[in-house]
Amino acid sequence: MKKASIFFMVILLMIGISAFVYSGGKKEAAGKKYAGQTIRVLFMSATYAEAARDIAKDFQAKTGAKVEVIDFPYVTLHEKELLGLTSGAGSYDVISIAAQWDGEFSPWLVDLEKYIKRDNWDTSDIMESVWQNSGKWQGKIMGIPHSNTPRLLSYRTDLIKKFPRTWDEFMAIARKLNNPSKGFYAFAIPGQKSQLSGQFFEPLWSLGGSWADKNWNITIDSPETRKALEIVKEEMSLADPAASAWGIPEASAAFLQGNAAFCLAWPTLGVTINGDNPDKSKVVGKWALADYPFGKTGLTVLSSWDLGIPSDSKHKDAAWDFIKTYTSADNQMKFFKKYTILSPRKSFWETEALKKSKLYPHKEASDRGTNIWWRIPAGTAALGVMRDAVSSYATGQWGLEKTVKYMENGLKKVLKDNPPAKGIKNTNR
């Protein structure tokens, strides 16, 4: 009888173990608040998406929710996000939004204020100057900023001892250093249409130019526009002839191989990651970051991204917890150390690691930076007009006056086709 009891106990134990193994540990996961849920999060390809993958397993271990990370390159991300938002299919639970899309996407995004209040989530650590440009729209908190990068440039410290303050000085140094006969150029520049317009926006804004005034009257036909166009065209003439086909990776690589004096690609997407890695760089210890020439205003182009929750998400609570996890101070520091992603948190910039970093010049530029793109539904089409015009002029296809007239007529048309809502002023000018 005793042996029979032991036998049955062993059988029951084996059944229990088999059931647990068969369930893949679901018994343990069942006690976690999001057990069985899968959230789909959408990011721009490269560092932001990789950072999301880095925390996905830990997030699942803590909450029970599996994280599926989807990514697309910048040139197609807007289209994918807009389609996902407007389809009503609940395609994504979290999306990473470029600040210039905030106003366009806002109607399909959850107002996060109720979650912030419910969890008493600390908003005071987010740089207010950033949040006003990225994540807040018309009184609604539709995104939490997760990356804030004012555009700086990289330059060779062994060749340029004193960085120029004016555009005239900047271009004079570039002409002097340019030496095509030796395969060395003044600029490593991302000349693809999707990136080249940024090189026009830098001088335009710093010289005091604008697309439109606060009431949306188009102001692009100006001396500042003409000078900015001439600058970007000359930059292309002082770059590798292949640069018209380059994106950020190719421009960054050219600079890292020692083939240019300045790199005009976003530094955090290439140069700062590998600049002091002897396996990938020939300019170790010979590079630094700087503001573009101050000009009249000192303004620089600001790239900001925020995380929002689509209204048709089926897992809003899990999505909010993922946003809190991704934007936490600890993870933001991890992302910086691994990918040089810059956080919009005040505390981030107060750490010794940042103060001693080559990336610290971003701090002052952040305080002056502005989101130059219109954050209204017409903004994407307006940017397309500017990209077409800048590319056509810089590559010699169009003359100066044709380019300016195309910009003016194009901006007027996109505002006519999709006018700003009543009461919305142009704050990005």
pLDDT at 369: 65
Helices (H), 88-154: 102-105, 113-118, 128-131
DSSP 247-288: -HHHHHHHHHTT-EEEE-S-GGGTHHHHTT-TTT-S-TTSEE
Q: Name the pLDDT band for 275 (thresholds 50, 70, 90).
A: very high
pLDDT at 129: 81
Average pLDDT estimate for 183-202: 94
Average pLDDT estimate for 77-84: 96
Tokens coding 380: 């994407």
Q: Is the dihedral of CA 79, 80, 85, 88 positive or negative?
A: positive
pLDDT at 87: 94
pLDDT at 371: 65
pLDDT at 24: 44
pLDDT at 269: 87
Q: Is the dihedral of CA 326, 331, 332, 338 positive or negative?
A: negative
pLDDT at 225: 98
- Contacts (Cβ under 8 Å, ≥6 apart) of 384: none
**Residue 152 contacts residue 227 (beta carbons within 8 Å):** no
Q: Who wins on pLDDT, 370 or 190? A: 190
pLDDT at 133: 85
Residue 159 predicted with pLDDT over 80: yes
Q: Is the dihedral of CA 130, 131, 133, 134 positive or negative?
A: positive
pLDDT at 346: 94
Q: Who wins on pLDDT, 339 or 30? A: 339
Q: Diameter of the chain by CA atoms?
A: 103
Q: Is the dihedral of CA 92, 93, 95, 101 positive or negative?
A: positive
Percent of the chain's residues with pLDDT above 70: 92
pLDDT at 408: 98
pLDDT at 299: 84
Q: What is the pLDDT of residues 294-340, one digit of tens each?
A: 899 888 888 899 999 999 999 999 999 999 999 999 999 999 999 98
Q: Who wins on pLDDT, 368 or 229? A: 229
**Residue 93 contacts residue 310 (beta carbons within 8 Å):** yes
Q: Name the pLDDT band for 30 (thresholds 50, 70, 90).
A: low
Q: Name the pLDDT band for 276 (thresholds 50, 70, 90).
A: very high
pLDDT at 118: 97
Q: What is the pLDDT of residues 340-396, one digit of tens each?
A: 899 999 999 999 989 988 999 888 888 776 666 888 989 999 999 999 999 999 999
Q: What is the pLDDT of residues 107-135, one digit of tens each?
A: 999 999 999 999 999 999 999 888 888 99
For residue 225, which of 214, 237, 212 has the smallest C-alpha distance? Answer: 212
pLDDT at 132: 84
Q: Name the pLDDT band for 1 (thresholds 50, 70, 90).
A: very low
Burial class (CB in 10 A: 0-12, 13-18, 19+), 259: middle
pLDDT at 390: 98
